[in-house]
A = this chain, B = another copy of it.
Amino acid sequence: MNGGHNRLRLVRAGIDTYQEPVVYMHRDCDVCRAEGFTALTRVLVHSGGRELVATLNVVTDDRFGLDVAALSEAAWNALQPAPEAWAVFSHPEPPASAPALRAKVFGHRLGEADFLGLMRDTVDNRLSDIELAAFVTACAGGRLDHDETIGLTRAMIAVGQRITWGGGPVLDKHCVGGLPGNRTTPIVVAIVAAAGHRIPKTSSRAITSPAGTADTMEVMAPVTLDLATMRRVVEREGGCVVWGGNVRLSPADDVLIRVGRPLDFDSDGQLVASVLSKKAAAGSSHVLIDIPVGPTAKVRSEDAADLLEARLLATAHALDLTLSVLRTDGRQPVGFGIGPALEARDVLSVLRGDAGAPPDLRERALDVAAALLDIAPGAAPGQGKATARSLLDSGAALRKFLAICEAQGGFSEPSMSAHSQPVLAARSGVVQGIDNRRLANIAKLAGAPRSASAGIDCRLRLGGAIQAGEPLFHVHARSPGELEYALEYAAEHPDIFAIAATP
């Protein structure tokens, strides 16, 4: 057709397959016939000096033509073909890391070189989603030991870029999550940066929760910054809160999170590798980890927290990071809002010192900022809390936060959703327990984090009294369909708030 061997012209399919690169070829095209490609074959695409492994979908009608290969958005963005570009198609080599994957599934320990091969193939898209799902599964349920965790962490760091900040300490914090609404990060970053420290915070989007810090921050300022812009923000303001996925710190972790998200498995080893690979890649030297502990939080018991803490400390030691752990109350949500915009509203009201600001979010943010200030080099231990409170109450933290938002591209006030409805208490009494997971499910069903304004507004706390017919919480959604869907789930689970009648 064009004189070449296994060549087709590239066009944009106009189909969004999320992060998975897909190539669409006609069933009868020369390439399919010569190479024996059929649906779901993995194909190697070479074009203009770039290459990409993509999944083949076979086109059976005349939509695209016989001499054309159409690329999904992910494939198009990865290859960035010139206008009228051609590509050469072939069978990719089997992934070099397949034997390591198989070994892990069969319960063998992996070494650092094995993990390096797996993470290299992960970022190069040499492993299919099915293979990645197998890897995530094989690492779940305590199947990574200490040394493997260190190996996986080092491998994740090695396949991404690593920021260097010149001399001086670089502070960072991370919350293990699982606690709806617990959005201390923007407040902590503002306080710590206002104290004169460097705190270049990269955050993730939601994995299995209704909002990640990046989702919440994005309601108030752009978070999709490239590395150079992030560096300028931190050099100017001392701190930032940006989406880690865009600066490609630990890009392998981002892929594992994408595949792991629908599975909703937690794994200590993968969790530690995820958190610490990002911290090391961000150039951090002093890290505080907040572990909320509670029956429906991510970490459910002090025993589980002990195991996780030991894993974190051993891995940090191997990476030469100073790390401290703060355990916090994980029995109930923190702040009123659950969902990006509702949480952003709470963050701003704490920073602004509003009389109606959620007191638990304020106290939690002060505790975390204090613990981080206390491990910074040159700190007078125990002084962190007073410093943090003074920076918050003086308005210095608010000014710093707004300056960071401006540096990231401009501050926006969060806007609220169009559709809202209360869920009412069926009985009167006192709140004895809160099922955080189911509460988070309602926020997710309402559309969070996809719809920034969706979620839950909940002011009821453990020990609080309520009368039958009063609202337990309000559900917010962008569309009536999502609102209805979330309310149905709430109706099916009337026990999210355990309410005992008062005597």
Measured between alpha carbons, how far is A33 from B479 in the docked complex, in Å? 8
How far apart are A438's CB and chain B's nearest CB, in angstroms? Answer: 12
Q: Which residue of B lies closest to A448 (CB)?
A: B36
The smallest C-beta distance from A455 to any residue of chain B, in angstroms, reads: 13
- Contact partners of A105 in chain B: CB under 8 A: 137, 140-141, 263, 265
The 8 Å CB contact of A479, one of B35, B137, B264, is B35
Q: How distant is the Cα of A105 from the Cα of B138 in the complex, in angstroms?
A: 8
Contact partners of A133 in chain B: CB under 8 A = 129-131, 133-134, 137
Q: Is the CB of A130 within 8 A of B60?
A: no
- The verdict on A263 contacting B134 (CB below 8 Å), with A36-B451, A451-B36 known, is yes
This protein's copies in its complex:
2
Contact B450 A34 (CB under 8 A): no
Residues of B contacting A262 in the complex (Cβ-Cβ under 8 angstroms): 128, 130-131
Do A102 and B35 form a contact, CB below 8 Å, given A60-B73, A134-B134, A136-B134?
no
**Chain B, Cβ-Cβ closest to A24:** B15
CB distance from A143 to the nearest CB of B (A): 8
> Which residue on chain B has the smallest CB distance to residue A143?
B107
A-B contact pairs, 19 of them (CB 8 A): A6-B481, A15-B59, A16-B39, A16-B57, A16-B59, A18-B38, A18-B40, A20-B40, A34-B479, A36-B450, A36-B481, A102-B265, A106-B140, A107-B142, A128-B262, A129-B129, A130-B130, A134-B136, A134-B263
Could you list which residues of chain A lie within 8 angstroms of chain B, going by C-beta atoms? 6, 12, 14-18, 20, 24, 27, 33-36, 38-40, 57-61, 63, 72-73, 90-91, 98, 102, 105-107, 128-131, 133-134, 136-138, 140-142, 259, 262-265, 445, 447, 450-451, 478-482, 485
